[in-house]
Amino acid sequence: MTIKEKGYTHWDGEFQDKKFPWWPITRYGIKLTFRKKFFKLFFPASFLLAVFFLAGIYISERLDDFKSMFGESVPSLQIDPAYFKTYLAGGFLLFIMLIMVIFCGSGLISDDLKHNALQLYFSRPLKKRDYFLGKTAVIVFFLFLLTLVPGFVFIIMKMIFAGSFKFFLSYPWLPLSVIAYSVLVTAFFSFYTLFLSSLNKSRLFVAILIFGIYFGSEILRAIFYENFHNHHFSLLSISANIQQVGAVIFNQKTPYPIHWILSLLVLTAFCILAGFVLKKKVKGVEIVK
Amino acid sequence: MKPVIETQHLSKWYGNVLGLSDVTLEIEPGITGILGPNGAGKSTFLKLITGQIKPNIGTCFIKGKKIRNNYPLFSFIGFCPEQDAFFDELTGWQFITGLLRLHHYSPAERDDRAQKALEIVELVEDKDRVIKSYSRGMRQRLKFAQAIAHDPEIVVLDEPLNGLDPLGRRKIIRLIKSYKGEGRTVMVSSHVLPEIEAMTKKIILIHQGKIFAQGDIHYIRDLIETHPHIISIKCSDPRLLASNFIQEEFVLNVKFSSAENTLLVETNNRDKFFSLIPSLSVKNNIEVEEITSPDDNLQAVFDYLVGK
């Protein structure tokens, strides 16, 4: 059969790698999250804790004014690394982060599996690495808004309210702690969420898994501890491990009398396992009939 | 002519299940039909040549370059999967532009390409409707649109006519045929011979993971014509009809089906057989309710080729 060249011109040039091939996936993921009705309510509310802590920083600098207004009964408020740890590694922020990843992350891979979309991605100039990067960046975006951004805002506002660099000079390592903790907790939650998202096609089921495993691990820790009175069972709890490592990062006393390295190992092992499963789960669609 | 797609000893298996076995072939520009029954390995072959899955053995070259992990090369390929692959909550427009983003076009070019693709598949008027409200035919056309929106040189279509009504089929066939003269390479898979026949004369016959034949469709057609056909007839008096059929030379076998009043006839001359039915029906006052061909003609050809 003769093929006549009519409208199409063959292109023999060299294609170049795009700089951020994952960005469209991230952009779409963020956009889709903001489309969710309940997320529109939750998103501003998730910053209330940060606002509360920011108010604490302001009050700490105006303590004398408050004392003159309310008398000496006003408790003193110390802004130090412990204050940052209380915000960043506190159970309430971890809970907010959990809800955040349920909103932004539960459907990241499960929706693609449900819609058979992996073949649409992987038949395009997109590496598997870029796919994961794109999905991870969605979670990173939202979790950094709750950790890294408030952490730095606190430091900057503390200096602005105080009108000096004294705070920074007293704790020059604190910005690094904020970065390290934010990266650690975000990395963990990214792996945790993407791993669970790759296990099922139902976003709702994944959301239940995200919630259930997190709190289930804590319940398990409590049950074992009550029965055996051994603090090593805190290694079973996701939040306990994060708080344990968080305390070390902020140079504070660990909440459980076990070595923090063990908690870090548990979190790292989970991430490695999750990464391995993700690699296996997210691949070109193979049909066996 | 220089082959656009070239495979060398391409093999793929899933555990103990053989997907594709030792496929070596060259595909030139034009439309090539991949023909084979369900589970023959068509989808596996198409996924291997589009670099989506890794072969266990062998290599696939697109324009002389290895396709596996050669991601920039994927820009040359437009892939239309067999299964529905949509984000139902998106509109047709959002779906196409969203996928075009992965090719990193400027917003203006992206919109332009999406518009053109939707024009080609005649979905412009429905582009702002959510995909879940689309009919089966519209969804198939949208799938086709996403495959051609980036103007690929190689278009790979996996069972694009599946589940379509005759009008929908005609539309898709017309679209595919419109690519014929443009110097592109189009690969279409199907398990229905007339579908492929309507689009191209070049076919690759695939069965149980192996390439059985490659070339002109007439060869396959001839095989079908000379191979016995089974025809099922539901009528008011199958025994009387059967007694008439067995006198004919081109009737090889007559059986009574378990279904009520149904006769199964094996013939090696379908045309003569069909022309005989009306006269027998009138002559013997037999009311014929239904005539079907329960055997898959293509399957019969494969059986013939493997010597069953």
**Best mutation site among A120, A130, A131 for testing chain B: the one with the most B CBs within 10 Å?**
A120
Which pLDDT belongs to residue A245? Answer: 96
Q: What counts of helices (H) and strands (E) characterise chain B?
A: 10, 14
Q: Which residues from chain A sit within 8 angstroms of residue B44, using beta carbons?
A: 286-287
pLDDT for A6:
42
- Poorest-confidence range of A127-136, A184-193, B13-22, B165-174? B165-174
Chain B residue with minimum CA distance to A4:
B181
- Report the pLDDT value the prediction gives residue B222, as an integer from 0 to 100: 67
- Per domain, the residue ranges of chain B are 5-224, 229-305
From the list A117, A120, A288, which residue is nearest B14 (CB)?
A288
Q: How many Å separate Cα A15 from the centre of its chain? A: 35
**What span, in angstroms and rounded, lies between the C-alpha atoms of A133 and A197?**
15
Contacting A residues, span 126-185, partner chain B, CB-CB under 8 Å: 126-127
CA angle B7, B8, B9 (to 5 degrees): 120
pLDDT for B116: 92
| Calpha distance B196→B149 (Å, rounded) | 23
Predicted pLDDT of residue B212: 83
pLDDT at B306: 60
Phi then psi for B198, rounded to 5 degrees?
-70, -15
Nearest Cα of chain B lies from the Cα of A135 at a distance, in angstroms, of 14
* pLDDT at residue number A1: 39
Question: Most B CBs within 10 Å: which of A123, A286, A289, as the mutation test of the B interface?
Answer: A123
Rounded to 5 degrees, φ, ψ at B216 are -75, 140
End-to-end Cα distance, chain B: 37
Q: What is the H or E stretch that residue A95 is in? A: helix A91-105
**Closest-CA residue to B79 (of B131, B141, B154, B142):** B154
pLDDT of residue B303: 66
CA–CA dist A15, B165 (Å, integer): 40
Superfamily for B5-224? P-loop containing nucleotide triphosphate hydrolases (3.40.50.300)
B30 with A1: Cβ contact below 8 A:
yes
Q: Tell me what pLDDT residue B178 has.
A: 81
> Helix (H) and strand (E) counts for chain A?
15, 0
Which of A12-26, A82-96, B72-86 reaches the highest mean pLDDT? Answer: A82-96
Which pLDDT score is estimated for B176?
Answer: 86
Q: Give the Å distances, CA to CA, from B68 to A11, A278, B51.
A: 20, 20, 5
Tell me the DSSP string of A182-214: HHHHHHHHHHHHHHHHTT-S-HHHHHHHHHHHH
Record: contact A125-B71, CB cut-off 8 A: yes
A20 contact partners, CB below 8 Å, separation of at least 6: none
Residues of A in contact with B30 (CB under 8 A): 1, 3
Residue A266's pLDDT is 96
> Does residue A114 sit at the B interface (CB-CB below 8 Å)?
no
Q: How many other C-beta atoms lie within 10 A of the C-beta of residue A237?
A: 25
Mean pLDDT for chain A? Answer: 89
How much of chain A, in percent, has pLDDT values that exceed 90? 71
CATH of domain B229-305: 3.30.70.100
| B-chain residues near A5 (CB < 8 A) | 182-183
Asked if residue A210 has pLDDT above 90, the reply is yes
**Could you tell me the maximum CA-CA distance found in chain B, to the nearest angstrom?**
73
Cβ pair A6:B98 closer than 8 A? no
Using CA atoms, how far residue A149 sits from A59, A162, A170, B62, B207, in Å, is 20, 20, 21, 47, 59
Check A3 against B1: CB less than 8 A apart: yes
Q: With both helix axes pointing from N to C terminus, report the angle between B136-148 and B166-178 in degrees, rounded to the nearest 10.
A: 10
Contact predicate B204/B285, CB 8 Å: no
Give residue A8's pLDDT: 52
Q: Which H or E run contains B211?
A: strand B210-216
Distance between terminal CA atoms of chain A? 34
Q: B149: which chain A residues are within 8 Å (Cβ-Cβ)?
A: none
Residue of A nearest to B180 (CA): A3
CB-closest option in B53, B77, B84 to A284 = B53
CA distance A195 to chain B (A): 21
Show the tokens assigned to A281. Answer: 């789960």
Q: Which portions of chain B are predicted below pLDDT 70?
A: 1, 163, 180-181, 220-226, 294-308
pLDDT (tens digit per residue) in A4-18: 344 555 555 555 566
Max Cα-Cα span within chain A: 97
The structure tokens 């532009």 sit at B97
Q: Where are the alpha helices (DSSP H) in B29-183?
A: 42-49, 92-101, 107-120, 136-148, 166-178
Cβ distance of A286 and B39 shorter than 8 Å = no
User: Which one-letter DSSP state was computed for residue B91?
Assistant: B
Strand partners, B25: B7
**Please, which residues bridge with residue B31 across strands?**
B186
Q: How far is A17 from chain B (nearest CA, A)?
A: 7
A-chain CB neighbours of B75 within 8 Å are 15, 124-125
From the list B28, B85, B98, the residue facing A116 with the nearest CB is B85
Using a CB-CB distance cutoff of 8 angstroms, which residues of chain B are in contact with residue A287? Answer: 43-44
Query: Angle B170-B173-B178 (CA atoms, 0-180°, nearest 5)?
Result: 125
> What pLDDT, on a 0 to 100 scale, did the predictor assign at position A195?
96
Q: Which of B73, B102, B106, B180 is best to mutate for the A interface (most A CBs within 10 A)?
A: B102
Residue A192 has pLDDT above 60, yes or no: yes
- A113 Cα to chain B: minimum distance (Å): 9
pLDDT tens-place string over residues B61-112: 998 889 988 888 888 899 999 888 888 888 999 999 999 988 888 889 999 9
